[in-house]
A and B are shown apart, each in its own frame.
Chain A
């Protein structure tokens, strides 16, 4: 590369040329970096302004007990971007009411909210904030990674969250998850489900590579369903909080979501023949019969679905401004419909 006899490395002139080239190139590269960053900051500011053709949002009060509403993280551009917002379930396309509380992931039930958010400051950090019905912080928990799932039990007593933890490995192929459950009544924090006893196929399993994510609670506030990944497979597990144990129910079921009547679990399933990086199709499992029903959504869904009611599911798909919420029938019929533009992390406050 620099063995060109024209520039003898030993001569002073050769060194001077090289240093000059380096200084010039550094100046160019530094300029590119600075200009791009400044322009990116401008564009980020633009996201603070409303864009035409997007849903509108108005600042206002959001109450977690107000029934007949859908709560979510608003993704539409404008000052209310990322704020916890609400619309009437009956008129989802109407203007949104946005509370001054930003969250990356959010869920709520019966007056309890959980908000996974970025802590402000130069050093990156995330926290889980337990919210009361008026979205006021009750308790904060530092998070060891990037938020991905959040759930509140139907009674509002239990909350769960999952984060991705990445190690120090180069190129970042290795990710693991950490899932915590907090009991708001007793104040008990199960900091990681990996501390629970795992019974796999009827036997105690002590593998080191347990990863849990996507908790969904039963109505009795004692049990939950979740995903366990170990040895390259995923399992649907049922957990018992008092016994601090989980047992596997079946393989290949991720991000379960229990129906309001407690009879079915919606989940995403890896389907053979689909590309390895977008392999998931939504399915519904009947817990009594073990029968699986494939849903009408043909795209790969990488989200923990939410039951809008006992017949309809809600889930996020990538959209123009991050993500949109779609709905599909839970019995496998019908076709998917856009339910709410520019929104993620929905929670239903039923009437």
Chain B
């Protein structure tokens, strides 16, 4: 068996690696090449124009608007999602005090767990259509009709350029929280019980338990969550497409790069320029992931 190990492994890996190279790596490389051409998406022989597409990007207001929105998304969306998810996960798993030497969650936490996870199962498109009704800007919208009952005038959730992006971020958070509740729950359940027991015996309250023990011991999980959420913040395509006014409006206040890439390629027939945006997005995402992992690096707590 031993001498046959390498052929065996190579034999098994060759097919998936080949598929990966053909369908994942090679399109990326092609995209890099196409970003240097003026390809219109129709002919098979695009013209090479060097870095012109990239210099053009620097003067493109819409591109920078989209980049700014990714900045906002990166700051707000992961932060809010993680805070809410941590809070819920703590309530579900550890805040009910001790029973039989076990930390327990609040009463009915199993039901809550299902409810929190539910949005995660819905397709983004369905979520988008759902929130069209919730955010509708006249008094028939779900939120506005509730606000109307307490005498507040309808709010233009998606038509006010100042809050449209935040409204869409709200939907992203709403959808993501459930998944991270489950992720953090798993993280919390792997923290040794005796640590909590010892702390509880020493008279630690819920706050101390959370901030002094749970949070530091969850650091690895949070790091993963932050990277995942960050990458989600580079997308937002479907929600913006379905929810925003005039695809990315009003006044470009909600547009994101994937939407601009899609528009530039399929509406404006500028596949070369769109690829340049794609390449820019690629580097932004890579930089973000690298930075996050670097900045948040800490010594592992062994247990």
| Real binding pair | no
B residues near A, CB below 8 A?
none
